[in-house]
Structure 1
Amino acid sequence: MRLAGAALNQTPIDWTTNLRNIREAIEQARAAQVELLCLPELCLTGYGCEDLFLHDWLSATALEKLQQVRAWCTDPQMVVCVGLPVRLDGRTYNTACVIRNQEILGFAAKQFLANDGVHYEPRFFNSWVAGTTTTVELGDEQWPLGDLTFEHLGVQFGFEICEDAWRPAEDRPAPRLTARGVQLIVNPSASHFAMSKTDVRYQLVLKASRDYQVTYLYANLLGNEAGRITYDGEILIARNGELLKRNQLLSFKDVDLEYTDVDFSQEPAVTEEIVPLPVPDEYRELNQALSLALFDYLRKARSRGFVLSLSGGADSCMCAVAVAELVRLGVEELGAAAFMRKAGCFSTADIEHVAAHGTLPPAAEATLAVDAGRTQQVLPPAGNQQLATDNPQLTTTLNQQLTRRLLTCAYQGTVNSSDDTYLSAKELADNVGAVFFNWDIDQEVRGYTGKIEQALGRPLSWQTDDLALQNIQARVRAPSIWLLANVLNCLLITTSNRSEAAVGYCTMDGDTAGSISPIAGVDKDFVKKWLVWAEKELNYPGLHRVNRLQPTAELRPLEDKQTDERDLMPYVVLNRIERLAFYERLGPSQVLERLREELVEADREQLKTYVQRFYALWSRNQWKRERYAPSFHLDDYNLDPRSWLRFPILSGGFGEELAAL
């Protein structure tokens, strides 16, 4: 039997797009003479519909739209498995519908619901009880639903839907299915991306195929579906512990189909040892996931690009590179013209010119940027008519041109800003091809401080008003950059990282202002290491300067030599406390004990001070984490209360626990 999985880039309740992708997958499978096609979990509605799954109309509409899918399944030799919700008697079930030759054979229902990390499935769905069935009706027709097995071309198959496969052996459906003679287990999934997670998923699928002596077919969702969560589109086909097919992850395509042939008439030897994947390259994984997440966010938000307050520090530089990589990776996989069409923010004339000549037309590159009061043309008009795909230098130029259309940056300096950060921002913007503006905000700062000094009848000083004077600088930057984003109809990127979120090292309505916070799920130490990697491996010489700077907010006078780690603590210590406290879920005394075991050379009292400082700052800044712009889930955990970690806004602040240290 020729088995196939198709990863689909879907969007919640975008019926037109979702159905188009499903139809494209079916047509590709038919052309490849596939005999069983697995589509991802809830691909008809989208996985991220949230509380809409509790609405009767959503499941009713999905069942009606399923009839369109049914009409496309005309091949009697091909079974298609489609994910959708079914609502019965006020309860919603997560199902996979099996269709053959325009006939619905039944709906297999998910038995276990994900309820950890970013998942809250029990809020929306009910678990199906193993060994039971019912019926679902539409008009004069009715079909079985529940714990079902199916037969196609002499092969018995059944389902584990995503979380079903992650349960212990004594609970999961697999052993019950094999006891009923199933030879093939099909797993439609919506398994979120996290760095290094693919290795866990690979082991899970191969081990299941070996332990239960079956063929195992796995197909995942693809792309940034609903805003925060990205799916890597992994497709795995394994038999008795042997990997038969695995695709390249995190594709920019809407449909990624992979297939292989399995001879069910033969009994291959069981593979005793599962060969592990090579150690994942987390820097490269993050780069691909971040780029795809930003690209999908851009086009699904129907925006025309991004605006970024480029401070020259590590975080904003990482965001700028992410947009440039969005262009490079998208063009590399799709081709420039197809990338531009999919982005949805380029004119037909520009797309046609790129398709014909490999560059944007000269008129498009005559846009002038203002930098420090001078007018300059950042990129020269494109004169080479050779196609970009034939010329690496021309490809680089085209990528810069496209990045210039998608990314506008501004350096907003004050008297406390250094030449180093200005040059860092300027050099990187030039390197990636972004539009770059430079203006200062000292006049605006003086206007606000002057009003308050007049109201209070006293001058503001660094001795008495340190934090307020820092915050007003960060806050004053927001209105201008927001205005620029609004004028350009672009998404405003905010640049906070996870380490800053943990301790509230940010200014609300200042450096946190924005439409999207792409790196809020990544810790600062990783950001710094990633930039060093990107300078060398991705060839961004514009990162040379920032990689030699100490992270600093540059909000105090320059002679103070302010740095983040002097204000807080070393980032590696901060990140370790955060992980022990909220990933491993240890109490303050346990965290301190672990730190002292791990950092034997560190001063014991200093570690105690760091732990006390972390918990005090964490507790008083939950309200900030509640207000962050939407962020991407990229690591194995994050601090977003709307996706991974909930914490009370008001609390005792670990008072007794910290006093007992």
Structure 2
Amino acid sequence: MGRLITLSTCSLNQWVLDWEGNTARIIQSIQEAKAQGSSLRVGPELEICGYGCLDHFLEQDLYLHCWEMLAKILSDKSCYDILLDIGMPVIHRSNRFNCRILALNGKILLIRPKIWLANDGNYREMRYFIPWGRPQHVEEYYLPRMIQKLQGSIKVPIGDAVISTPDTCIGAETCEELFTPSSPHNFMGLNGVEIFLNSSGSHHALRKLDIRVSLILEATRKNGGIYLYSNQKGGDGDRLYYDGCAMVIVNGEIVAQGSQFSLDDVEVVTATVDIEEVRAYRFAPSRGLQSLQAPAYRRIETNFSLSSDSDDFDSSIAPSPKLKPRYHLPEEEIGMGPACWLWDYLRRSKAAGFLVPLSGGIDSCATSVIVFSMCRLIIKAIEDGNKQVIADVQRIAGAYEAEGWLPKTPQEINYRLFHTVFMGMASQSSSETRSRAKELAKDIGSYHIDMDIDDAFHAQKGLLTKATGFEPRQGHFSRPQAVNKINTFIDSRFMVNAYLFAQMLPTVRKRPGGGGLLVLGSANCDESLRGNAVFDGYLTKYDCSSADINPIGSISKTDLKRFILWAQKAFDLPILEGFLTAIPTAELEPITHDYVQSDEADMGMTYDELSVFGRLRKEQKLGPYGMFQRLLHDWKDTMEPRDVAVKVKRFHHYYAINRHKLTVLTPAYHAENYSPDDNRFDLRPFLYPPFFESWSFKRIDEEVEKLEKRAKK
């Protein structure tokens, strides 16, 4: 047994520009870390202002307020006697840097700028910051006058340095730097750094956590060392949910792991580690020889020891035991990530609750079950004594009740927060869909309304007839065209009625406060990607795509089905079986005894195939011809080359003609790496040349002819 050190990392639910709230959570995490015996605390990336400030990072006010909040932390004596790693942006030499402030007892030891910036997918860090492009370089930073008074000096070191204490050496790398091939921890480890601090703003995506964990495990498995990973948690005001999961890893083994999804605003993860285990792990002569060739780091000296000053052996303290990594199934991730995101949005927007147009299909069903999952998490947080959740619940949902009221079941709170409306047409809505919607609403406890919109539908048609003298009938168009003409008229279900009910239902229910309801979308990733068009589209602008926020907009139909299957048992909702077995239909045509309009039949492809197209297009970065070549191999056992060509061309054709729809998609929870979100993630033109006349389609046709001729021989 060597020298023991107790260290803390944390996940904080920070909110962009919530200056005082963010600072209070930082201070609370420091106090909790100290209470748990820690001598070091690391926090999330850019935690003072919030990671997702976007173009606010270009504003001078933001940097001023960051220093003002840091001054509050540095001058707070409850934050003394612990080494602090705090994330905030800094302007140096008229350049903006994403930085870490390493401080002790009210004094800044080092400002460590980020060396490698995240600049792909959801991230645009180089729009706001520049990287510290000189590894191992350190220079002087002139402090703002308010900090000079606390510091007792006018400048501090800024750059790529490490902190040296009497008992160990500490280095920092920030989020993206862990993911790069030549990560800073490699050279730092060779230079004797034993404790690595990682401050992150890493978002949740389905099946992503294992990548993050494996990188950290490998970093310390190869280098040896103690790795503290901190991450933001919660929805900070945009499409991303940061999924926490703060961790402490020692020599390739997890010894502490926080939650990935929870309603806790502050979560501190603490472990006791033995620094001598790192030194014993680094015995290999080859490592020693490489360390002599590695570039040297400047060491910032401090007399503060992380371990006890006593050399006496204390048998009451032991290193934290090794743990196996904890992962959630993708189905659980869908049930928990969007649910936490919805709760953050609801409580911070000051809205009165949610409304969903519940159709009886699987998409609006999935949105509704996610809201129910949110209510389950709320009840769990209340049972755990979460004071912030209790206060928010009483403010949002307790207006009906006596002071001190708290719900006992998810259904009880769901009835106060969640409103579902079935908007059917007597001539086209089946009794099955109507019944499924009603039964689901009953089982999850939502406030439900069942209504028909025939009058609004006919009134809408009447406007055209009155203005032009033309009365559209089924016989005027081919069947696909007729479907879309009907769809155009039915748009009023959502764009008008959903928002009418969202604004008026709180008044109808005599809820004080005057806040309206947030309309939730129920368009999944795959139908958004394609536009689901036959001619103009099932995903019609301002129809089911019209909402305030969409918890399933970046989740595939395939994964939604898996989620509903899982929730059927996990949430004890037998009614979900009917949603799983029902034919996917928008009910855009009259139902007969032997015919139900099918989305997949009209699209000419299945939702599973749409998911494949989406992944190949975005993740594999394939155009029409490359996608065709890939699928010739992947589908060779089930499909002829000409059939593959037809599907690939059909997908790209309808994607192109419906591309304009993606520019107005409801802001959606980001969950898939092939999300079609036009505003943050998937940046493409919205007016394309006709794909049927394109060179890529001609090349596909040529290849099909070659293959068919070869097959005949």
Output the TM-score relative to the length of structure 2.
Answer: 0.83
Task: List aligned pairs for 1:370-449, cutoff 5 A.
Answer: 388=408, 398-414=409-425, 415-449=427-461
Question: In the alignment, what sits opposite 2:162?
Answer: 149
After TM superposition, the structure 1 = structure 2 runs for residues 98-497 of structure 1, keeping only pairs within 5 Å, are 98-129=102-133, 130-134=135-139, 135-139=141-145, 140=148, 141-169=154-182, 172-266=183-277, 267-269=279-281, 277=325, 280-335=328-383, 338=387, 339-343=389-393, 344-347=395-398, 350=401, 352-355=403-406, 359=407, 388=408, 398-414=409-425, 415-463=427-475, 464=477, 466=482, 467-487=484-504, 488=506, 489-497=516-524
Q: CA, structure 1 residues 70+430, in 2 after alignment: closer, same or farther (shift >3 Å)?
A: same
Contact 2:343–2:374, Cα closer than 8 Å, also in 1? yes
Matched, 1:552 2:552: no
The alpha-carbon deviation at position 85 of structure 1 amounts to 0.4
* Alignment check: 8 A CA contact 2:397 2:417 kept: no
**Alpha-carbon displacement from aligned partner over 1:168-225 (angstroms, at most 9, x marks no partner):** 03xx211232243211110010111112211111111111112222211111110111
Quick check: 2:262–2:377 contact (8 Å CA) kept in 1?
A: no
The alpha-carbon distance between structure 1 residues 182 and 218, as it changes in their structure 2 partners (threshold 3 A), is same
Larger Rg: 2
Q: CA-to-partner distance for each residue in 1:40-79, whole Å, 9 max, x for gaps?
A: 0000000000011111221121012100011225565311
Cα 1:630–1:73 shift into 2, 3 Å: farther
Do residues 30 (structure 1) and 30 (structure 2) align? no
> What is the aligned partner in structure 2 of residue 614 from structure 1?
651
Q: Give per-residue Cα distances to partners, 1:89-135, cap 9 Å, x unaligned.
A: 33210111112111111211100001111111111111012122231
Q: Decide whether the 8 Å contact of 1:287 with 1:322 is kept in 2.
A: yes
Structure 1 residue runs of 5 or longer lacking an equivalent are 360-387, 389-397
Structure 2 residue 537 is matched with structure 1 residue 509: no
With over 3 angstroms needed to count, the CA separation of the structure-2 counterparts of 1:280 and 1:401, relative to structure 1, is: closer
Assess, with a 3 A threshold, how the Cα gap between structure 1 residues 588 and 542 changes in structure 2: closer, same or farther. Answer: same
Contact 1:7 1:39 in 2 (8 A): yes
Separation in 1, partners of 2:632, 2:405: 59
**Partner-residue secondary structure (3-state), 1:307:** strand
Q: Structure 1 residues 211 and 144, CA, compared in 2 at 3 Å: closer, same or farther?
A: same
Whether the 8 Å CA contact 1:475–1:511 is kept in 2: the answer is no
2: distance between equivalents of 1:100 and 1:264? 21
Q: What number of residue pairs does the alignment pair up?
A: 618
Output the aligned Cα RMSD: 2.1
The residue that corresponds to 1:391 in the other structure is none
* Partner Cα separation in structure 1 for residue 79 and residue 543 of structure 2: 58
Specify the code of the residue in structure 2 equivalent to 1:588: P
For structure 2, which runs of at least 5 residues remain unmatched after alignment? 149-153, 285-321, 507-515, 533-538, 701-713
Report the Cα distance in structure 1 between the residues aligned to 2:569 and 2:283, rounded to whole angstroms. 40
Measure, in 2, the Cα distance between the counterparts of 1:125 and 1:524.
37
Maintained 8 Å contact 1:337/1:354? no
Counterpart-to-counterpart distance in 1, 2:491 and 2:432: 18
| Structure 1 residue 320: Cα displacement | 0.6
Q: Is the 8 A contact 1:157 1:183 kept in 2?
A: yes
Q: Offset of 1:278 from its aligned partner?
A: 6.8
Runs of 4+ residues deviating >6 angstroms: none
- Matched-pair contact (CA < 8 Å) for 1:240–1:270: no
Distance 1:572 1:408 in 2: 31
1:12 positional shift: 0.4
1:558 aligns to what SS in structure 2? coil
Is the CA contact (8 Å cut-off) linking 2:170 and 2:195 kept in structure 1?
yes
- 1:68–1:544: structure 2 CA closer, same or farther, 3 Å change rule? same
- Cα deviations across residues 124-155 of structure 1 (Å, max 9, x unaligned)? 11101212223131114322211121134522
Q: Please state whether the residue corresponding to 1:625 is helix, strand or coil.
A: helix
SS in structure 1 at match of 2:75: helix
Cα deviation, 1:556-615, whole Å, max 9, x if unaligned, reads 121352111011111111211121122211121221232232222224333222111110
Q: Contact 2:334–2:563 at 8 Å: present in 1 too?
A: no
- Aligned identity (percent) is 28
Matching residue of 2:535: none
Structure 2 vs 1, CA of residues 350 and 144 (structure 1 numbering), >3 Å: closer, same or farther?
A: farther
Distance 1:610 1:511, change over 3 A: same
Deviation, 1:270, is 6.7
Counterpart in the other structure of 2:663: 626
**2:17 aligns with one of 6, 13, 17:** 13
Task: Indicate if the aligned counterparts of 2:363 and 2:560 stay in contact, CA closer than 8 A.
Answer: yes
